[in-house]
Amino acid sequence: MKGVRDQLEIFLEPESIAVIGASRTTGLGSFNIFENLVKSDYPGEVYPVNPKADEILERKAYDNIKDVKSEIDLAVVSTPRTAVVDIVNDCEELGIPAVIVIAQGFSDAGEKGKKMEETLTDIVKNSNTRILGPNTLGVQNYYNRLSTAFFPVQERIWKSISDWKSVGLVCQTGFFFRGVPGVYFGKVIDIGNSCDIDHLDALKYFKEDSETELIFLHIEGIDRGKEFLEFAKEACKEKQVLSLKTGRSEKGSAMAASHTGSMTGEDRIYDGVFKQTGITRISNLRELEIFTKSYLNFPKMEGNSIAVLTTTGAAGIITADAIEEFGLKLANLSNETIETLESLSPEWMDIKNPLDMWPAMMIGGKGIEETYGKTLNSVLEDDSVDGVVSIVPLGETPDEDPEVLEQTVNSLNYLLQKHEKPVAAWLIHEKADTRRGKELMKVKNLAVFDNIKDAVKALSFSRNKLGGLKNEI
């Protein structure tokens, strides 16, 4: 019998797929899994099974999975729940290694459903067949453009995913498939009600998967707690693991239990599990965005001493507050750095960190490029500085000159590539995902954030970074 990794691999890299319960309704808004697979760039074979159809999208339709004859790696079962048990029995008899059960209405829907789900578990016990689901959207894989979701994944989504392709996701919901604001996933395994494949299996797959560097676990509840805990400890030594445990509140916990039939447990137990294993617990989807951005763009920050470069003293104060809040500290700058700043600033100015560059630019008559460039270079060269917060409207001109932006990106790249220190930037007047923000994200070791708090939080996360550097992913 194959190991878990091999079996999960067949789910994510099948060479042939049968869609059982393939719909005859095609076109916009039809939620047709078979159609999505056929019209996508997925390179394998796809067979429709539907006794009511002769052909679907000009491909021969089969009455039964047993009629297909060709070797099937993955069966996607998209029928009403009452038909599922017989179909999974057939799949198991045929030796199909991977079965995804899309249908809802199992342990997510009362006693009758729960019994049906137990039957599914029994069918594949000690067999070569594994089940993902029920109540799942299945899998998604950027690398072979495979998605078993019922909505088509447009090319623009795959394109967005490309920067995030090293992020792997285990979830109990389909809403992550197309990404959440600011984050996409290269590989997705939706375990649904996890009648067979569960968080532990999926984590085992991602731990070994060379295409995945950062693992995100969406958890409503976990089965096999003790084994999960032991294995997660090992996984966290090799790869960074983030987790969002939902159902923290009383109502939320009860709902999670009924949503996917999960053992939700008390929230503080999960706190303990995360602490013991080294999994980073995130509190909400926004933290997912911040931490993922930090991981993908920052090198590991070697200490907790931060230099702040700003064009506004007030923002420097807000940054100092955030630095304390997230357990970092303001760097004690070297005399050399201080002297560089003094040479740029008016005589009355007392140079200290946060470095307010405005008087140098306004009164000292130095342009923003010169002042910022020299200051940034000084703090990057300064051994007492581990990371930088930059509160400056980088690359901005009154007439939004694209050449200035390009020059800014180039000179930042020149400065930043010489050091392995993270620079978290806030552009003051705009959010991170403007054209300017996106261009600046191309700078090595630099990332742009929507606000000061997020920038500092991201730096603090890079303190514990394991492996992986931007551009090497």
Scanning residues 130 to 189, which ones bind a copy of itself (CB under 8 A)? 150-152, 154, 171-175, 178-182
In the set 452, 455, 458, 459, which binds a copy of itself (CB under 8 A)?
452
| From 14-22, 51-59, 108-116, 207-215, span contacting a copy of itself (CB under 8 A) | 108-116
**Residues 199-228 interacting with a copy of itself (rule: CB under 8 A):** 218, 220
- Residues 263 and 328: their CA atoms lie apart, in Å, by 37
State yes or no: residue 111 binds a copy of itself (CB under 8 A).
Answer: no
In the set 362, 414, 418, 464, which binds a copy of itself (CB under 8 A)?
362
* Largest Cα–Cα separation, the chain: 87
Nearer to a copy of itself (CB atom), residue 179 or residue 265 = 179
State yes or no: residue 438 binds a copy of itself (CB under 8 A).
Answer: no
State yes or no: residue 53 binds a copy of itself (CB under 8 A).
Answer: no
Neighbours of 362 (CB within 10 A): 12
Nearest to 207 by CA among 3, 400, 470, 49: 3
Nearer to a copy of itself (CB atom), residue 282 or residue 416 = 282
| The Cα angle at residue 466 between residues 464 and 468, in degrees rounded to 5 | 130
In the set 54, 58, 383, 399, which binds a copy of itself (CB under 8 A)?
399
Report in angstroms how near the CB of residue 393 gets to a copy of itself at its nearest: 9
Report in angstroms how near the CB of residue 391 gets to a copy of itself at its nearest: 8
Q: Are 444 and 471 in contact (CB under 8 A)?
A: yes
Q: Are 214 and 295 in contact (CB under 8 A)?
A: yes
- Residues 373 and 370: their CA atoms lie apart, in Å, by 5
Nearer to a copy of itself (CB atom), residue 73 or residue 386 = 386
8-state DSSP, 450: S
- Residues 249 and 217: their CA atoms lie apart, in Å, by 19
- Parallel, antiparallel, or unpaired for β 387-391 and 59-60? unpaired
State yes or no: residue 293 binds a copy of itself (CB under 8 A).
Answer: no
- HEC letters along 166-228: CEEEEECCCCCCCCECCECCCEEEECCCCCCCCHHHHHHHHHHCCCCCEEEEEECCCCCHHHH
State yes or no: residue 397 binds a copy of itself (CB under 8 A).
Answer: yes
In the set 67, 324, 336, 339, which binds a copy of itself (CB under 8 A)?
324
Nearer to a copy of itself (CB atom), residue 178 or residue 207 = 178
Nearer to a copy of itself (CB atom), residue 72 or residue 149 = 149
In the set 53, 229, 349, 469, which binds a copy of itself (CB under 8 A)?
349
State yes or no: residue 246 binds a copy of itself (CB under 8 A).
Answer: yes
State yes or no: residue 46 binds a copy of itself (CB under 8 A).
Answer: no
Report in angstroms how near the CB of residue 285 gets to a copy of itself at its nearest: 5
**Residues 413-432 interacting with a copy of itself (rule: CB under 8 A):** 428-431
Residue 233 structure tokens? 């400890």
| From 125-133, 195-203, 310-318, 376-384, span contacting a copy of itself (CB under 8 A) | 310-318
| From 51-59, 209-217, 296-304, 315-323, span contacting a copy of itself (CB under 8 A) | 315-323
State yes or no: residue 454 binds a copy of itself (CB under 8 A).
Answer: yes
- Residues 423 and 319: their CA atoms lie apart, in Å, by 14
- Residues 375 and 380: their CA atoms lie apart, in Å, by 9
In the set 306, 315, 424, 446, which binds a copy of itself (CB under 8 A)?
315
State yes or no: residue 255 binds a copy of itself (CB under 8 A).
Answer: yes
**Residues 16-45 interacting with a copy of itself (rule: CB under 8 A):** 28-29, 31
State yes or no: residue 453 binds a copy of itself (CB under 8 A).
Answer: yes
Residue 292 structure tokens? 């993922």
User: Which amino acid, 441?
Assistant: M
In the set 450, 459, 461, 463, which binds a copy of itself (CB under 8 A)?
450
User: Which amino acid, 331?
Assistant: A
State yes or no: residue 314 binds a copy of itself (CB under 8 A).
Answer: yes
Report in angstroms how near the CB of residue 381 gets to a copy of itself at its nearest: 23
Q: Are 108 and 258 in contact (CB under 8 A)?
A: yes
Report in angstroms how near the CB of residue 102 gets to a copy of itself at its nearest: 9
Report in angstroms how near the CB of residue 17 gets to a copy of itself at its nearest: 20
Tokens 């300017």, located at residue: 436
| Buried/exposed 159-198: b ≥16 CB within 10 Å, e otherwise | eebeebbbbbbbbbbbebbbbeebbbbbbbbbbbbbbbbb
Q: Are 142 and 188 in contact (CB under 8 A)?
A: no
